[in-house]
Structures are given as C-alpha cells and as structure tokens.
Amino acid sequence: MSLKVLVGCKRVIDYAVKIRVRPDKLGVVTDGVKHSMNPFDEIAVEEAVRLREKKLAKEIVVVSCGPAQAAETIRTALAMGADRGYHVDIPANQMDTLQPIHVSKILAKLAEKEKADIVMLGKQAIDDDSNQTAQMTAALLDWPQGVFASKVDKDDQGLTVVREIDGGLETVKLTLPAVLSADLRLNEPRYATLPNIMKAKKKKVDKVTPGDLGVDISPRIEVVSVEDPPVREAGQSVADVDELVGKLKEKGF
C-alpha cells in the first residue's frame, strides 16, 4: 500500500533570532524579523520525503496555517520534495490567538478530506512550545499516535515507531491511519537544491480559510502579558573549595 502523507509546517521566528518583547508587552516583535520553517517540521517533511523515496508513500501534501508569508514556508517544503500544499489563510492579527486546538481541527478536516494515511507533524513549534497539536489531531480523528518519533518503519500491519521518552526509548506498533510527530533525532533534513526550488514554484498550492473547512478560530485565550525572562545575576569565581564553602556559609547555606 502506498501512503498519502499530510505534513504540517508552521512559519516561526527563526531559531537564531534574539526574541524581543513588544513595547505593549502583549507579544513579541515579529515585523522585520527573519522567519523560517519550524525546525521540527523540516524533520517531518524530510521523513515524508524519505518514505516516498522508499516507495512507501505516494503523495506528500503540506499544510501551513498562517499569514500571507506562510506561502514561503510551503514553497520550502515543496522544494524539499512535497508534492502540493494547502495555505490555510490566518490574518496576521489572529496569529497570536491561534491555538493548537484550532490548528488540530484544521489538520483533522484536511486529513479527512484528503483521506490521508499519516499526519506527520513536528513535536513542537519553537515559538509557543505547546507540543499539543499532534496529540489533539490524533484525538479528534480517533487515530493512534506515535509522538516524539526517532525512527519510523512500515510493515504490512502498519508502522513501528521508536519514541523518545523520559529515560529511554519506547517502541510502539500503530495501525494506519495514524498521527506522528518528529523528534530531533529522526533524521537530518536535506537542503533544497536550486533546481528543486525552481520546480517547487510550479507545484499546486490551494488557498483556503478556516471557515471553508468549518473551523471557528475565534480567540479562546487573551494574552495578558509577555515578559522577558529575569536577567541572571553575575556569578563569582572562587580559587578553591575552601573559599567556596566559606562563601556559601556567609550566605547562610
């Protein structure tokens, strides 16, 4: 059986950018800041492309829910080897209140519409660090989930997934269809080559709204305040253990 894989790719502030809190303290500065595909989603795309290269997958459909610029994130995934895409249009001013439950509902609808066999996501988006979307998408679809995957193998029964869990690795067998989320060690994503970037421009991207899919994205949270982490106090060097013990005693430890 050749599988159809739906991959979720979020456009996030690039991991190397120093994040700045907005003056109104209701979010972080995004204007004029470099954005990229969420790094775990690059791993998810890579895994889907490898499944197709092994002739286990027949089609890779990428989905990004975001403002106009999310189209660039979709093109990156298409240049890595995905076949076509959905841009789910979210106005920029609604991104702050777009929550994993909204994205999960959108992904679940598209998975049903596309009759996907695997929904492949990143384990977490590095902007909000929610780590909820894969789990909730699986729950909404009532499909098995293999989250924090560091190895995925297919056999006649379904998938065998090695998961990174606290203190070790867990191996689970899943029937298809299933939802997976990619952990860091699953693979090393490829860079898109120039010819593939050119080819990606011709691939099909459908633009839809959450409303088209019957999903209500009205805010369920209100951001009350966003703060910088407290600045760490400067440390002190000590010459030896005796001096360290002396200083600790002075401070009442």
Q: For binding to ligand AMP (CB under 6 A), which residues are involved?
A: 8-10, 38, 40-41, 44, 63-66, 100, 103, 121-122, 124-125, 128, 130-134
Residue with Cβ nearer ligand AMP (27 or 246): 27
Separation CA 3–CA 83 (nearest Å): 13
Cis bond upstream, residue 144 (ω within 30): no
Q: Which residue's beta carbon is nearest to the bound ligand AMP?
A: 122
Residue 25 near residue 80, CB atoms below 8 Å: no
Q: How far is the CB of 120 from ligand AMP (least distance, A)?
A: 8
CB of 59 to ligand AMP, least distance (A): 18
Cβ-based nearer residue to ligand AMP, 44 or 56: 44
CB-wise, 37 or 56, nearer to ligand AMP? 37
Nearer to ligand AMP by Cβ, of 82 and 125: the residue is 125
Taking the complex as a whole, the smallest distance from the CB of residue 93 to ligand AMP amounts, in Å, to: 15
Task: Please tell me the distance from the alpha carbon of residue 185 to that of residue 63, in angstroms, as a whole number.
Answer: 23
Beta strands 178-182 and 118-122: pairing type? parallel
- Residue 113, token pair as written in the block: 């519409």
The backbone torsions φ and ψ at residue 86, rounded to the nearest 5 degrees and listed phi first, read -125, 125
